[in-house]
Chain A
Amino acid sequence: MQKGNDNMLIPSLETDTQEIESVVSLSQKNNVATKKKAPNCECAIVKSENFSFYYGSKAGVKDISMEIYPCSVTAIIGPSGCGKSTFLRSINRINDLIPHTHIDGKLFVNGHNVYDKNTNLVNLRQQVGMVFQKPNPFPKNIFDNVAYGPRLQGVKNRSSLQQVVESSLKAAALWDEVKDDLKKSALALSGGQQQRLCIARALATRPNIILMDEPCSALDPIATGKIEDLIDKLQNDYTIVIVTHNMQQAARVSKRTAFFCLGELIEYDSTVKIFRNPGKKQTEDYVTGRFG
Chain B
Amino acid sequence: MQNLELKPAVDKYQPLVLTPLEDIRGFLFHHLGRFLLFLITFSSVLLMLLIFFFVIREAIPFLMKFNLTEFLTTKSWYPEASTPKFGALSLIVGSLYVTIAALVFAVPTGILAAIFLSDIVSLKIGDFIKPVIEILAAIPSVAYGFFAVLVLAPWMQNKLGFTTGTNALNASIILSIMALPTIISVAEDSISTIGRELREASYALGATRFETIFKVVIPAAHSGIIAAIVLGMMRAIGETMVVWMASGNANQIPSPWWDLSQSVRTMTATIAGDMGETPKDSLHYGALFAIGVVLLVMTFLLNIISEYFLASAKRKSGKS
Q: Which residues of A contact B (CB under 8 A)?
A: 92, 94, 97, 99, 122-123, 125-126, 129-130, 132, 134, 136-140, 148-149, 152-153, 187, 198, 201-202, 205
Contacts and interface: CB of A to CB of B under 8 A. Distances in A.
B206 A187 contact: no
A130 B204 CA distance: 6
Contacts of B197: 132, 134, 136
B211 A138 contact: no
Interface in B201-222: 201-208, 211, 215-216, 219-220
Contact of A129 (B204, B215, B320): B204
A99 B123 contact: yes
Given A97-B196, A152-B211, A138 B204 contact: no
A125 B203 contact: yes
Interface in B158-210: 196-208
Nearest to A127: B206
Contacts of B201: 132, 136-138, 198, 201
A198 B198 CA distance: 11
Given A138-B216, A139-B320, A187-B320, A97 B206 contact: no
Contacts of A198: 201
Given A134-B197, A139-B316, A205 B206 contact: yes
Given A132-B197, A148-B215, A138 B206 contact: no
Nearest to B122: A99
A97 B204 CA distance: 11
Nearest to A98: B196
Nearest to A134: B197
B205 A132 contact: no
Given A97-B196, A138-B198, A122 B206 contact: yes
13 contacts: A94-B204, A97-B200, A122-B206, A122-B208, A125-B205, A126-B205, A132-B197, A136-B201, A138-B220, A148-B202, A149-B206, A187-B319, A201-B205
Nearest to B196: A97
Contact of B200 (A132, A137, A139): A132
Interface residues of B, number: 23
**Closest 7 pairs (CB-CB, A-B):** A126-B206, A136-B197, A130-B204, A125-B206, A149-B205, A136-B201, A122-B206
Nearest to A194: B320
Given A125-B203, A136-B198, A152-B206, 13 more contacts: A97-B199, A99-B122, A122-B207, A125-B206, A132-B200, A132-B201, A136-B200, A139-B316, A139-B320, A140-B219, A148-B207, A149-B206, A152-B207
A201 B207 CA distance: 13
Q: Is the interface of B mostly helix, strand, loop or mixed?
A: helix
Contacts of A201: 201, 205
Contacts of A97: 196, 199-200, 203
Nearest to B220: A139
Contacts of B320: 139, 187
A82 B31 CA distance: 53
Contacts of B200: 94, 97, 132, 136
Contacts of A202: 204-205
Nearest to B207: A152
A137 B123 CA distance: 26
B27 to A, nearest CB: 43
Contacts of A92: 204
Contacts of B208: 122
A153 B203 contact: no
B205 A148 contact: yes
B189 to A, nearest CB: 17
Contacts of A149: 205-206
A129 B206 CA distance: 9
A139 B215 CA distance: 11
B206 A153 contact: yes
A65 B216 CA distance: 36
Could you say which of B205, B211, B316 has the most chain A C-beta atoms within 10 Å of its C-beta?
B205
B219 A139 contact: yes
B224 to A, nearest CB: 12
A205 B199 CA distance: 17
A228 B204 CA distance: 22
Could you say which of B198, B201, B211, B319 has the most chain A C-beta atoms within 10 Å of its C-beta?
B201
Contacts of A130: 204
